[in-house]
Amino acid sequence: MDLDFWWLLIIPVAFAFGWIAARYDLKTLLSESSNLPRSYFRGLNFLLNEQPDQAIDAFIEVVKLDPETIELHFALGNLFRRRGETDRAIRVHQNLLGRADLPVSERDHALFELGQDFLKAGLLDRAEETFGRLESGDYALGAQRALLTIYEIEKDWSKSIETAQRLETMGAEPLDKEIAQFHCELAQEALQQKKPADAAEQLELALKANPQNVRATILAGDVKAAGGDHAGAIAEWQRVEEQNSSYLPLVAEKLMKAYAALGRAAEGADLLTSYVDRYPSNDLLDVAYQHVADLRGGDAAHTLARTQMQKSPNLAGMTRLLEAQIAAADEPRRGELELMRTLIKQRTKNLPRYTCQNCGFRARLFYWQCPGCSGWETYAPRRVEPIAASN
C-alpha cells in the first residue's frame, strides 16, 4: 500500500515539472522570435509567395538592422551570384570579411564565396588571388579546384599541371587524364614554335601520366613527320589501333601522306581498307574511298563503298556509294543518281559531326576539350549518325 501511495504523489509532481519546462521553452521561443526584425518574416512570406525580388529587399533590410546574421549574408551573396548580380554578391562577402570579429572558419567561407563571385564575374586575376589565400582548412580543396579551372581558362598549362598534382596529394580523385592533356597542350605549343625536342619531352610526360592517351601518340607521330621520319611517324600512328581504334579516323589522312612520302601509297591504301573492314566508320570510309579511287579506280572504290553500306547502312555511306555509281553510270542514269546524291547531301550537310558525351554539345570539328562543359576527351571521334540525329 505504501508503494502505491508514493506513485500517486510522483505522477502529479512529474506533470508539474513538465508543465513548467514547456512554459519555459515557449517563453524562450517567443523571446527569440521577438528579437528577429519584422523584415525577416516579411522576407519569408515573399519567398513563400514566389516573390524573390521583394524577398531580397526584405532580407537586405534584416542584414542592415542585424549585422550578426552571418548565414543570411552567405545566403544573400549566393542568391545574388546565381542571379548574375555579381557586383552585389561581391559587396556582401567583402562586408563580411571586413568584420574583425569574424571566426576563422567563417572567414575562410567568405573568402571562398568571394572567389566564386570574382570567377563568375570573369575577374580571373582577383579570383586567383582570393583562392590562393585558402591554403588550408575546409575550403582548401575547393579553392584548388577553382584555381585549376582558372588556369585552364587562361591556358596556363604549367600551372594547371602543378595544381592538378597538388589536388591529388590533397586526396582529390585521380587527374591522370587531365594532366596528360595539359602536357599535350604544351607539346602542341612547342610544335607551333618549331621546338620538336621540347614537344617530344612533353609527350613522354603525357604518356607517363596516362599511357592510353591517344592524343600524345598522334602528336608523337606529328613530331617525327615534321622531322622527316615518315616511317617513324607511321609506326606511332599505327599504335592508335592498340590504344583505341575509334580514334583511327584522326590519323587516316596522316598515314596516307606519310606512305605517299615514302612512295608506298598502295600499301597505305591497303592499310586503310583493312581498317574500314575491321572498324566500320564513315570518316575512315571517306579517306579510304578517295585514295582507293585514285589508286585503283572507280570499280574498287565502288566495291569498298557497297561492302560498307551492307555492313552499316547510313546516309553518309550512301553518298559515297552513289558517287561510285555515278562514275560508272551512263548519261540518263547518271542524272538520276546525281539528283539522289544532291538530296542526301542537302539532308546531311548541316548536321554536326561530333557530340560531347558529357553535356551534349555538338560541333563539326573534333575537340579534345569540350567547348561547352570544358571536359577532356568527352568527344567520341566518329560522326553522329544523321538519321538518329534528326529524330
Binding residues for Fe cation: 356, 359, 370, 373
Whole-angstrom distance, CA of residue 195 vs CA of residue 204: 15
CB 104 within 8 A of CB 134: no
E strand intervals along the chain: 354-355, 362-363
Residue with cell 544532291: 342
C-alpha distances (whole Å) from 63 to each of 29, 35, 37, 102, 367 are 21, 14, 10, 15, 47
Whole-angstrom distance, CA of residue 150 vs CA of residue 166: 15
The crossing angle, in degrees rounded to 10, of helices 140-154 and 104-121 is 20
Question: What b/e readout covers 29-42, taking b as 16+ CB neighbours within 10 angstroms?
Answer: eeeeeeeebebbeb
Tell me, rounded to whole angstroms, the distance of Cα 376 from its chain centroid. Answer: 6
Phi and psi of 363, rounded to 5°? -155, 155
Measured at the CA of 189, the angle between CA 185 and CA 190, to 5 degrees, comes to 115
